[in-house]
């Protein structure tokens, strides 16, 4: 377990000792900082968040509330905290390459599995950069609405449904680009080789998942990966299933399944982010 993971685990345990009022105050601050600090050093951020939590618990033991300790303007406290940690261009580009690599891996599964289409590397790279932008916009939206929601006693629509719909709206162009834009940078993989590669990555993914201590965090990703992999294999199977997925109705069905899986992926990550 890394230092960052250790800080997060300790944070999750200590937060249970907060009163409901203090827990709401601190959770808003925590979520705001995490959604605005993705290009800063996360280990330093988590260390500072843990330090703030310990200070808050000390104040709570003296019957001092979070608002009394930090002041009513929690957003200002969070913004001041973020200024303590400079943004890292190195981390920014590493994150872009990581997201791009993950996305190329994801699109490789269904693309390799299609017997009548090639894996378009150019489209994948284009979509990968768009995905980085979409993630940034989603995080920015979430961070901007945290204290709005807290001040207005937001409804379930404002807190959960609206962010999920925004996430889906931002993700839809990825599939539109994938289906309607082609580039010259394409490779073709046969049915048997495609299934072999998918099964290989299933095995690798299963091994990596089993080794994870915090499996809940990876469940949305595992579910999404499983859906893509199953669809990929199904498209290469001989007979009724493979033939159906090559038709217009079959491709529409596949698109609906992938969009639904994407919605669950986004919603699952949003719920986990709030719990953590």
Is 237's pLDDT higher than 90? no
C-alpha distances out from residue 248 to 52, 110, 140, 221, Å: 55, 16, 37, 28
What's the confidence (pLDDT) of residue 51?
A: 92
Is 16's pLDDT higher than 70? yes
Cα(118)–Cα(181) distance, rounded to whole angstroms? 13
pLDDT (tens digit per residue) in 77-111: 888 888 888 777 777 777 777 777 777 776 665 55
Section 118-127 average pLDDT: 78
What's the confidence (pLDDT) of residue 57?
A: 92
Hey, how many other C-beta atoms are within 10 angstroms of the C-beta on 256? 10
**In which band, very low, low, confident or very high, does the pLDDT at 115 lie, cut at 50, 70 and 90?**
low
The domains of the chain are located at 3-82, 89-275
Residue 248 tokens, joined = 């217009």
Residue 157 tokens, joined = 């629509």
pLDDT (tens digit per residue) in 130-161: 877 877 887 787 777 777 655 555 555 555 66
Question: Where does the chain have alpha helices with state H?
Answer: 3-14, 20-36, 42-61, 66-70, 74-82, 89-113, 121-152, 156, 162-180, 191-211, 215-236, 240-244, 248-275
Tell me how far the alpha carbon of residue 223 is from its chain's centroid: 13
Is 227's pLDDT higher than 60? yes
What's the confidence (pLDDT) of residue 80?
A: 85
Is 200's pLDDT higher than 80? yes
What's the confidence (pLDDT) of residue 54?
A: 93
Share of the chain above pLDDT 70, in %: 84
């Amino acid at each position: 377990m890394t230092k960052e993971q250790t800080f997060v685990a300790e944070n999750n345990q200590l937060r249970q000792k907060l009163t409901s009022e203090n827990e709401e105050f601190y959770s808003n601050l925590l979520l705001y900082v995490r959604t605005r600090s993705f290009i800063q050093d996360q280990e330093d951020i988590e260390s500072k968040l843990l330090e703030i939590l310990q200070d808050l618990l000390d104040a709570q033991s003296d019957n001092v509330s979070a608002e009394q300790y930090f002041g009513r303007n929690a957003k200002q406290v969070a913004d001041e905290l973020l200024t303590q940690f400079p943004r890292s261009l190195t981390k920014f580009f590493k994150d872009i390459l990581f997201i791009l690599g993950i996305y190329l891996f994801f699109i490789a599964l269904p693309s390799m599995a299609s017997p009548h289409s090639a894996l378009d590397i150019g489209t994948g790279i284009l979509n990968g950069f768009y995905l980085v932008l979409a993630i940034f916009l989603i995080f920015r939206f979430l961070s901007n609405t945290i204290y709005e929601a807290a001040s207005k006693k937001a409804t379930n629509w404002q807190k959960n449904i609206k962010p999920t719909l925004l996430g889906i709206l931002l993700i839809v162009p990825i599939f539109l680009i994938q289906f309607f834009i082609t580039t010259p940078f394409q490779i073709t993989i046969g049915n048997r080789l495609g299934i072999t590669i998918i099964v290989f990555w299933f095995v690798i993914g299963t091994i990596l998942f089993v080794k994870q201590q915090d499996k809940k965090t990876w469940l949305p990703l595992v579910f999404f990966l499983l859906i893509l992999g199953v669809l990929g294999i199904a498209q290469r199977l001989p007979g009724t299933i493979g033939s159906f997925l090559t038709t217009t109705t079959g491709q529409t069905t596949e698109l609906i399944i992938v969009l639904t899986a994407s919605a669950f992926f986004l919603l699952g990550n949003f719920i986990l982010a709030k719990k953590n």
